[in-house]
């Protein structure tokens, strides 16, 4: 990425106005039990602007500090680079909140960099679109490979979806458009995220966060390798090699052509 001159990036002529607005917001806040006001660090993907914003907000003084404007398409590597530059400039004794994040790998990496709080629609939105997060990676329940799979979504999860239903049944619900599929997968995803955060807190308390982070990356690498092997041949050849019928779109059950039924 080419360096952009300061005035082109918008860091001249607006800094004072932004600082004044943040200070006015802080003064307007009425302190009361259970509430706090956060300053939001901005600055795009430019480390120097992020650090300037963090210092200005720190000088004003807030109950907590949020990092905004990330996870909007810049990629995980860039997001982590900006966090590496930003989080050290924030007070360690105040909560640090990464806005709109995110995927499990994003959360683990952000916690390793000093982030405390998150918010994201991903667990529920994914549940409504047939995606489930598991300890072995993300599963798309619409895929035909789950049609006859008696295994649970995640053998280590105790949520009702994993305890009472197979992948095959959840696949059937998703293909039929049953609302129960969205309910069960949302339930599971929220439980998975809750378990993930509980594991992170326990690892921090026991001083084993580095081990937790290292272990959490292993399943994703294995899944990526399997996906790469699966996609090395065209889909039609892969299905033919497995003896599977021609894939058809729509409906809960496969459609058969006249030739198939003859």
Total structural domains within the chain: 2
* Residue 72 backbone dihedrals phi, psi, to 5 degrees: -120, 30
Does residue 240 lie within any of the structural domains? no
Mean pLDDT in residue range 197-207:
97
Mark whether 111 and 131 lie in a shared domain. Answer: no
Tell which residue, 196, 207, 181, 21, has the closest CA to residue 103.
196
Task: Write the pLDDT tens digit of every residue in 105-123.
Answer: 999 999 999 999 999 999 9
The answer on pLDDT for 45 being more than 90 is: yes
> Does residue 261 register a pLDDT over 90?
no
Domain-ending residue, one of 120, 152, 187:
120
Answer yes or no: is 87 within a domain. Answer: yes
Residues 173 and 63 in one domain: no
Is 114 found in the same domain as 28? yes
H-only helix segments in the chain:
6-9, 15-28, 47-60, 76-86, 104-112, 122-128, 160-164, 167-176, 179-206, 209-230, 235-241, 258-261
Question: Residues 67-101: pLDDT tens digits?
Answer: 999 999 999 999 999 999 999 999 999 999 999 99
Query: Are 41 and 81 in a shared domain?
Result: yes
Last residue of a domain, one of 73, 101, 120: 120
- 106 with 126, same domain: the answer is no
157 and 88 within one domain: no
By C-alpha distance, which of 259, 245, 260 is closest to 147? 245
Q: What is the pLDDT of residue 127?
A: 97
Q: Are residues 188 and 215 in the same domain?
A: yes
- The owner of tokens 């979806």 is 161
Question: Does residue 248 sit in helix, strand or coil?
Answer: coil
Residue 239 lies in a domain: no
* Per-residue burial over 16-52, b = 16 or more CB atoms within 10 Å of its CB, e = otherwise: eebbeebbeeeeeeeeeeeeeebbbbbbbbbeebbbb
Nearest Cα to Cα of residue 161 among 197, 199, 123: 123
* In a shared domain, residues 106 and 135: no
Whether residue 233 is predicted with pLDDT greater than 70 in this model: the reply is no
pLDDT for residue 143 is more than 60: yes
In a domain? residue 254: no
Identify whether 251 is part of a domain.
no
Give residue 24's pLDDT. Answer: 86
| 230 token code pair | 């699966």
Grouping H, G, I as helix, E, B as strand and the rest as coil, residue 132 is: strand
Asked if residue 97 is part of any domain, the answer here is: yes
Q: Tokens 């966090």 appear where?
A: 83
Do 115 and 206 belong together in one domain?
A: no
Judge whether 248 lies within some domain: no
Mean pLDDT of all residues in the chain?
A: 84
CA nearest 79: which of 101, 48, 49? Answer: 101
Q: Mean pLDDT across the stretch 162-180? A: 97
Within this chain, do residues 47 and 145 fall inside the same structural domain, yes or no? Answer: no
**Do 1 and 112 belong together in one domain?**
yes
Model confidence, pTM: 0.77
pLDDT bin (cut points 50, 70, 90) of residue 31 is confident
Of 170-179, 185-194, 241-250, the least confident: 241-250
Q: What's the CA gap between 10 and 252, in Å, rounded?
A: 53
Residue 66: φ, ψ to 5°: -105, 150
Supply the CATH number for residue 64's domain.
3.20.20.70
The reported pLDDT for the residue numbered 120 is 94
| Residue 5: predicted pLDDT | 42
Quote the Cα angle for 244-133-195, to 5°.
145
Residue-range definition of the domain harbouring residue 210: 121-233
Indicate the pLDDT class of residue 213, thresholds 50, 70 and 90. Answer: very high
- Closest Cα to residue 87, out of 60, 61, 120, 112? 112
Structural domain contains residue 78: yes
User: Looking at the structure, do residues 110 and 210 belong to the same domain, yes or no?
Assistant: no
> Does the structure show a pLDDT above 80 at 63?
yes
> Domain boundary at 90, 120, 150, which?
120
């Amino acid at each position: 990425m080419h360096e952009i001159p300061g005035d082109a990036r918008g860091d001249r002529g607006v800094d004072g106005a932004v600082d004044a607005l943040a200070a006015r917001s802080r003064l307007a806040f009425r302190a009361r039990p259970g509430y706090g006001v956060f300053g939001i660090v901005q600055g795009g993907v430019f480390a120097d602007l992020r650090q300037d914003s963090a210092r200005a907000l720190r000088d004003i003084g807030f109950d907590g500090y949020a990092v905004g404007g990330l996870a909007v398409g810049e990629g995980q590597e860039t997001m982590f680079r900006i966090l590496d530059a930003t989080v050290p400039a924030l007070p360690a004794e105040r909560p640090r909140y990464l806005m709109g994040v995110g995927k499990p790998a994003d959360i683990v990496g952000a916690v390793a960099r000093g982030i405390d709080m998150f918010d994201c629609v991903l667990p529920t939105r994914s549940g409504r679109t047939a995606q489930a997060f598991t300890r072995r990676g993300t599963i798309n329940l619409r895929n035909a490979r789950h049609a006859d799979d008696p295994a649970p979504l995640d053998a280590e999860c105790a949520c009702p979806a994993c305890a009472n239903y197979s992948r095959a049944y959840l696949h059937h619900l998703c293909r039929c458009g049953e609302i129960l599929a969205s309910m069960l997968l949302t339930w599971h995803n929220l439980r998975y995220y809750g378990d993930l955060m509980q594991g992170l807190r326990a690892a921090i308390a026991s001083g084993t966060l580095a081990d937790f982070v290292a272990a959490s990356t292993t399943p994703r690498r294995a899944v990526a390798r399997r996906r790469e092997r699966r996609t090395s041949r065209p889909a039609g050849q892969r299905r033919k090699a497995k003896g599977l019928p021609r894939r058809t779109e729509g409906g809960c059950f496969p459609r058969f052509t006249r030739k198939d039924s003859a």
